[in-house]
Structure 1
């Protein structure tokens, strides 16, 4: 081949050899169509947003986040990407394989850079190395800043880490080889699909992790049979159908956090803690909290404590038993500790035979990165966001996602928006995105009194329902479960329960984190747990002598429950939902969990 081309066999005129990197007319026409369709989608979205200006939605409605300057800049840069993308891909494809280095054997293990081109292609290898150097320098510089107190340094390091994650070249289409290859393979259809996903999320004001149409509460999620047998303006009480001939005489009442929907403990038959507990012979009751609205603007901590007492008394009266076992998960566990302290002060501690804490905190000194969200600036913003008397749950979801931004934000930006992948039908992710609104007054009080000022561990500093509380007065047998990798309720913080309760205590350390560490059914054969010296003077001392057991900790817990009171009674009469003095209101999971 020569610069002039190649002569035919008969010595005719030279014929130009085809350029493998020059798009064909058909390709050019197709890409022009792709860009036109993208522009049309963005135009229709913009027009839809303009139409909604007529709505009376609040200024800080998450569905209007598109209006902020950062999002507008993102959209502008996205439009430029559409115009420049084809030229970038063509030039990148021209890089000759002979110049490509072999993959570095000592390359850091970072799943964001799993695509072989991050090491095999010199252009992307340089981008990755440059990003690594810059992000390392950013974090190191932050750590070396002088004149900062511990809180300020923690905030700076969190901000630097978040910035480094956001600036990763994997988050941009034109610097992510996997995205480029997918776009070329699909002739731009993956980018169009991703754009459709992004615009849908902007319209609803929330990053999607899962196909929202894949699940329906009460149909293929939260399906354990039962009835709502009691309700107030704040909660519904569900009683589940027994599946054993005899049941434990002492029933179980579960208080889930009102920050999330209760069905994290009843995702599906294979994962359901509720179903498993029923199968062990427990009469199980579940509290389903109402998602806050404007009518709940004056709800405070006393109201949630009164609700816990009401649920306990309702079950005791229904089954004619002196006491119940109680479980408190996360913030509901914190509140359950306050409830127990109040009952102890009033001489009613025997209403609860035992208490189990799932990843709950009472001492917030070591509460982790969530403490970064309790300064005056954040509290002022919170007041603005809660002008209607309640905090939209999408804001809390965004806050929790930001604690693991690489996994829960940018991972899905790449997958959903840049690669255009289909959403996975994953029940846990569906639950994670099923947000619950919070009463504004109580939410602020919780952050100030507990997270910021840590008043719960100061005897008689807090008063609930007119009674000063002191955690040292709690002598109820307690089972304290913590997650080794929990970033919401850190292990060291949960351990502090061992220091503040006065009754017999059993501490169990579960593998994994805030959710998977709790929801770990025996049949799954996953993770492990550690038990040890419950009289250990410190967490370090406990861990040093702890014994590891493979699999779920649930069997250990039911053994502990049986040790508290192993008495049995026939599963009939009031033990069957609706057959006692409390008639069935509706089938489980009830209305409240479905309200948005």
Structure 2
């Protein structure tokens, strides 16, 4: 694989090295140390119990290490009591209130909490457990320490305590109402977003367009051009099956669709149908076959012999299977491809599969087969517990201790607008991730054709996120090496969703480029150049050179054969 990234002359080596070193350091400080469970596998209580038992067994097997850590903990706690302990770290946003530094009681509580956390971490790190077991144990201890953080209690949260005095306890009344509501309507999880603030088709997924093709699996949306001229080759966006498509068409200013239209591109979008148990047998063949039908509809509407494909996460996996199928059949339906935040397998270094044991995988497969689908709310809960401080305890404090309504945040609304996975596709995704089938020539058959991604030689633009906790960037880098042809690898300074929604204008945004071939991800980053701004702009220029000549924008959407079936965002996106 050729990793060609930037055509600009590189900066001086010292300046480049400093820029690269500075940004990851700041980012890593905010990134979770351990990713945790695989959303497609889930996290079984017995796996956590087994991990706790393994930690207990280490206490028995290594009494000397246990005594050493207890002695160190006692020393640290004594230092807290006598005032000689160092000032508590302030990087953790949970302890950002000035009281944690200025109030001696709160300062001591924070120092004691950090001493306990350091003791547990030290014991796990120094134990004789194998590397994978240590990672599971670290995830478990992090989960435990996050749960018992003083900020999750009324007396241990200075902001909540002040609020209680200011309101005469009305915040606790509101918090109790919020708790009861979440217990009845949100399966006991704290609500992350005010769902009443958004409406799909009104203030989300509101870019004008029309549904120009529909089959049992998907609707195809064509967007209304916003420029007088457009490039001849159309763009087709393939969203993940585990989410609804409008992550690519959020509010104005955050819409990737809007950005592409401004760049004189013809844009089409797949809107997947939300499957039910009646669709339990839908698998990768089903989804790839429906995409082929959609591409042929686009070809008829636009007159273009091929398309540029864009996909993210599981959508990019489906897109890759489609490209492998086309390569096997010698069909030239795809001119170039953009793959965003997607991995093809769980390698030994990936923490996404910490609890993806054979037993857990079998249980996950049997569960979806029994129900016919993998429920979207179940996926959402696993995603939340992958980042509990941000996606669970933050809202516990906001909703129940402060008594506030959850925020009106478009990304979180989309994240909570869940979809289901049919059992057939869920089972295949488990096999693809655990057996690395996409990247292994001949291991996967699509519509009867053996897939070899090395035969996919169209130009590819691959995006990863440096702090991505779902598809770690090094896994993305490793996955795309399975492709043939030219690949541009781009690393955003953001996380999973924040990398996708990266509109120009964010002064903090950065992305990394490297025009040299690299044997591994670390070597690639070492030689990369940091660029200020959004990768969307760099990508836009890359796309234009692969989108053909310009001609007058179409005066109407669809064609005689594929007439409008209704306005965007269509019917499937609103089906429960």
The normalised TM-score by structure 1 is: 0.79
The partner residue of 2:105 within 123, 131, 151 is 123
Q: Is the Cα–Cα contact under 8 Å of residues 367 and 490 in structure 1 kept in the other structure?
A: no
Aligned-partner Cα distance in 2 for 1:392–1:563: 41
Aligned to 2:571: 591
- Residue 568 (structure 1) aligned with residue 550 (structure 2): yes
Kindly state the Cα deviation for residue 106 of structure 1 after the two structures are TM-superposed. 5.5
- Residue 170 (structure 1) aligned with residue 151 (structure 2): yes
Q: Flag structure 2 segments of 5+ consecutive residues without an equivalent.
A: 1-44, 46-80
Q: Is the Cα–Cα contact under 8 Å of residues 235 and 307 in structure 2 kept in the other structure?
A: yes
Aligned to 1:545: 527
Kindly state the Cα deviation for residue 161 of structure 1 after the two structures are TM-superposed. 1.2
C-alpha distance after superposition, 1:67-103 (max 9, x if no partner):
xxxxxxxxxxxxxxxxxxxxxxxxxxxxxxxx99899
Question: Residues 430 and 134 from structure 1, CA distance in 2 versus in 1: closer, same or farther, beyond 3 angstroms?
Answer: same
Kindly state the Cα deviation for residue 115 of structure 1 after the two structures are TM-superposed. 2.3
- Residue 407 (structure 1) aligned with residue 407 (structure 2): no
Question: Residues 268 and 385 from structure 1, CA distance in 2 versus in 1: closer, same or farther, beyond 3 angstroms?
Answer: same
Aligned to 2:139: 158
Kindly state the Cα deviation for residue 194 of structure 1 after the two structures are TM-superposed. 1.2
Kindly state the Cα deviation for residue 246 of structure 1 after the two structures are TM-superposed. 1.3
Aligned to 1:582: 562
Kindly state the Cα deviation for residue 526 of structure 1 after the two structures are TM-superposed. 4.2
Pairwise CA RMSD of aligned residues?
2.3
Aligned to 2:330: 347
Aligned-partner Cα distance in 2 for 1:140–1:167: 18
The partner residue of 1:396 within 347, 354, 379 is 379
Larger radius of gyration: 1
Question: Residues 536 and 315 from structure 1, CA distance in 2 versus in 1: closer, same or farther, beyond 3 angstroms?
Answer: same
Aligned to 1:434: 417
Aligned to 2:166: 185
- Residue 322 (structure 1) aligned with residue 305 (structure 2): yes
- Residue 443 (structure 1) aligned with residue 457 (structure 2): no
Counterpart secondary structure, 1:371: coil
Q: Is the Cα–Cα contact under 8 Å of residues 327 and 455 in structure 2 kept in the other structure?
A: yes
Q: Flag structure 1 segments of 5+ consecutive residues without an equivalent.
A: 1-64, 66-98
C-alpha distance after superposition, 1:412-466 (max 9, x if no partner):
111111111232221111111111111123213312x122222222211111111
Aligned-partner Cα distance in 2 for 1:463–1:328: 20
Kindly state the Cα deviation for residue 145 of structure 1 after the two structures are TM-superposed. 2.9
Mapping of residues 93-172 of structure 1, within 5 Å: 105=87, 107-146=89-128, 148-172=129-153
The partner residue of 2:224 within 217, 241, 249 is 241
Q: Is the Cα–Cα contact under 8 Å of residues 101 and 122 in structure 1 kept in the other structure?
A: no
Structure with more relative contact order (C-alpha pairs < 8 Å, separation 6 or more)? 2
Kindly state the Cα deviation for residue 126 of structure 1 after the two structures are TM-superposed. 3.0
C-alpha distance after superposition, 1:239-290 (max 9, x if no partner):
0001111111100000010111111111111110001101111110000111
Aligned-partner Cα distance in 2 for 1:225–1:162: 44
Kindly state the Cα deviation for residue 386 of structure 1 after the two structures are TM-superposed. 6.0
- Residue 519 (structure 1) aligned with residue 501 (structure 2): yes
Aligned-partner Cα distance in 2 for 1:402–1:135: 19
Aligned to 1:479: 461
Count of aligned residue pairs for this structure pair: 495
- Residue 505 (structure 1) aligned with residue 505 (structure 2): no
Kindly state the Cα deviation for residue 477 of structure 1 after the two structures are TM-superposed. 0.8
Aligned-partner Cα distance in 2 for 1:474–1:310: 20
Kindly state the Cα deviation for residue 298 of structure 1 after the two structures are TM-superposed. 1.0
Kindly state the Cα deviation for residue 537 of structure 1 after the two structures are TM-superposed. 2.9
Q: Is the Cα–Cα contact under 8 Å of residues 236 and 307 in structure 2 kept in the other structure?
A: yes
Aligned-partner Cα distance in 1 for 2:355–2:420: 18
Aligned-partner Cα distance in 2 for 1:105–1:275: 48
C-alpha distance after superposition, 1:508-527 (max 9, x if no partner):
11121111112111144440
Q: Is the Cα–Cα contact under 8 Å of residues 345 and 435 in structure 2 kept in the other structure?
A: no
Aligned to 1:269: 252
Counterpart secondary structure, 2:405: coil
Counterpart secondary structure, 2:511: strand
Question: Residues 176 and 100 from structure 1, CA distance in 2 versus in 1: closer, same or farther, beyond 3 angstroms?
Answer: farther
Counterpart secondary structure, 2:499: coil
Counterpart secondary structure, 2:241: coil
Aligned to 2:180: 199
Aligned to 1:92: none
Aligned to 2:342: 360
